[in-house]
């Protein structure tokens, strides 16, 4: 069976750098930090008092008051990003075969804010326990995919992926495979997260996974820097329209890039720590290259997982040098979480968008906040420190890894006929 070709025809994003794709990309290429003091609650009692929040998001700019009552913030972000991606694709909803349009949209945690607020209310109550009738529908991780499907009438495959911080790349790979196998013509895919709530900050603090550098919060997300002390929490959503090539051609769609490969692997090592030698990261990139039928030397740019955790960055750098050999020093590599923070389950989607736009504009977004080299990271790698770089990018690879050892990689290629 000949596999179908899959292209990207629409993008949508709600991020700490902006609430549209254009705002997000402008922040990326200019090296803007999305970090600031937490305003959603009083963080005084927490070790970490800052995060990369979505700024100036007024739910009533997008939804009526009735809808707001039914939606967790993570679902709102998902719907806004999905709407932008559909409009960007210029898809004619009256002509498309909605039986052949699916939604695979993930969240690592789901309606965390809803769970917390409902349980706080319950603990204060007396007598008969009372919960909102929307409590369960707001919290479950699949509900964003459901809402997108219902809003637009898409009747194809519809579900959520949950693989921690690899969630939205997992969703992209699944959608890619459905289209390749001719099970659908088009997917809205990606992920969303809104975990900047008290138990989110407190929980990651207790794991010692998150930066506590309150004195330098603007530059605390510093992947590959020797002084890094953990990730900075981010939030938001990324949405991509993946489409079968002939379906896109027939409707005259603009094509951003071709998705040519997806890799999957497991560390099989530890609940939260990566394999110290990067075995899982090596394998997932290798699998993505094999899936794409490509050689390592064809990759121009890698958007790394690069969370700024002490062990994770070393592990990923080792995997890259092991797999790519001498070519590792000819590529550009960057960690865009230095700007957005870590969007957890939504990270892969917005980083896929960054990779696609890097191909479009031949521009490598930077790894900002770098000052001090880490002696355990190869100094000859071009990690695109502090400033965007111009170069021809024909092929870009994007990595995302999750707690539990879940690893996913995707490869995008400049589209040619």
User: Distance between the two ends of the chain, CA-based, in angstroms?
Assistant: 21
Task: Provide φ and ψ at 332, rounded to 5°.
Answer: -100, 145
Find the catalytic residue in 165, 247, 275, 406: 165
Find the catalytic residue in 147, 247, 342, 406: 342
- Count how many Cα atoms sit within 13 Å of the Cα of residue 261 in the half-sphere of its side chain: 26
| pLDDT of amino acid 129 | 82
Q: Are residues 231 and 210 in contact, defined by beta-carbon separation less than 8 angstroms?
A: yes
Predicted TM-score (pTM) above 0.85: yes
* Complete DSSP assignment for 286-309: HHHHHHHT--GGG--EEE------
> Residue ranges of the alpha helices (H) in 239-389?
245-250, 279-292, 310-324, 337-340, 347-361
| pLDDT of amino acid 361 | 98
| pLDDT of amino acid 103 | 98
Q: Rounded to whole angstroms, how far apart are CA atoms 106 and 166? A: 10
| pLDDT of amino acid 125 | 76
Q: Kindly give the pairing relationship between strand 395-402 and strand 301-303.
A: parallel
Task: Provide φ and ψ at 298, rounded to 5°.
Answer: -85, -10
Q: Are residues 168 and 349 in contact, defined by beta-carbon separation less than 8 angstroms?
A: yes
Rg from Cα positions in the chain = 20
Q: Rounded to whole angstroms, how far apart are CA atoms 106 and 170? A: 8
Contacts of 254 (CB under 8 A, 6+ apart): 9, 90
Q: Are residues 386 and 371 in contact, defined by beta-carbon separation less than 8 angstroms?
A: no
Instruction: Give every strand in the sheet of 257-266, ordered side by side.
Output: 158-159, 101-106, 186-193, 236-244, 6-14, 257-266, 406-413, 395-402, 301-303, 332-334
Q: Rounded to whole angstroms, how far apart are CA atoms 412 and 377? A: 26
Q: Which of the residues in the chain have pLDDT under 70?
A: none
Q: Are residues 35 and 50 in contact, defined by beta-carbon separation less than 8 angstroms?
A: yes
If phi over 0 gives left and psi between -120 and 50 gives alpha, with beta otherwise, what is residue 236? left
247 tagged catalytic: no
| pLDDT of amino acid 122 | 87
Structural domains in the chain, CATH included, are 6-250 (3.40.47.10), 264-413 (3.40.47.10)
| pLDDT of amino acid 273 | 87
pLDDT in tens, 159-214: 999 999 999 999 999 999 999 999 999 999 999 999 999 999 999 999 999 999 99
Find the catalytic residue in 147, 247, 305, 406: 305
């Amino acid at each position: 069976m000949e596999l179908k070709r899959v292209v990207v025809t629409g993008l949508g994003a709600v991020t700490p750098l902006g609430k549209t794709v254009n705002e997000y990309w402008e922040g990326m290429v200019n090296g803007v930090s999305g970090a600031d003091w937490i305003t959603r609650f009083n963080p005084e009692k927490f070790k970490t008092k800052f995060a990369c929040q979505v700024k100036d998001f007024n739910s009533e700019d997008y939804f009526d008051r009735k809808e707001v009552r039914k939606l967790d913030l993570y679902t709102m972000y998902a719907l806004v990003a999905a709407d932008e991606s559909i409009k960007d694709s210029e898809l004619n909803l009256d002509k498309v075969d909605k039986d052949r349009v699916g939604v695979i949209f993930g969240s690592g945690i789901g309606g965390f804010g809803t769970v917390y607020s409902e349980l706080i209310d319950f603990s204060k109550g007396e007598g008969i326990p009372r919960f909102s009738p929307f409590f369960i529908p707001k919290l479950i991780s699949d509900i964003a995919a459901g809402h997108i499907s219902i809003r637009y009438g898409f009747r194809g495959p519809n579900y959520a992926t949950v693989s921690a911080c690899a969630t939205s790349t997992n969703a992209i790979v699944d959608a890619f495979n459905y289209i390749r196998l001719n099970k659908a013509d088009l997917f809205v895919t990606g992920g969303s997260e809104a975990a900047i709530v008290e138990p989110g900050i407190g929980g990651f603090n207790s794991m010692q996974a998150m930066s506590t550098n309150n004195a330098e919060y603007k530059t605390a997300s510093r992947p590959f820097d020797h002084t890094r002390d953990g990730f900075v929490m981010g939030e938001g959503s990324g949405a991509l329209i993946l489409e079968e090539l002939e379906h896109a051609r027939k409707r005259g769609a603009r094509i951003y890039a071709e998705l040519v490969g997806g890799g999957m692997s497991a560390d099989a090592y530890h609940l939260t720590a990566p394999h110290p030698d990067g075995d899982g990261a090596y394998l997932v990139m290798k699998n993505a290259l094999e899936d794409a039928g490509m050689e390592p030397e064809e990759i121009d740019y890698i958007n790394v997982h690069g969370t700024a955790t002490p062990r994770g960055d070393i592990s990923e750098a080792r995997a890259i040098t092991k797999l790519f050999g001498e070519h590792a020093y000819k590529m550009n590599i960057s960690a865009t979480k230095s700007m957005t923070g870590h969007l957890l389950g939504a990270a892969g989607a917005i980083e896929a968008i960054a990779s696609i736009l890097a191909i479009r504009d031949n521009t490598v977004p930077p790894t900002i906040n770098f000052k001090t080299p880490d002696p355990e990271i190869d100094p000859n790698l071009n990690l695109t420190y502090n400033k965007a770089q111009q170069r021809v990018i024909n092929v870009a690879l994007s990595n995302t890894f999750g707690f539990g050892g879940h690893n996913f990689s995707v490869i995008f290629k400049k589209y040619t006929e």
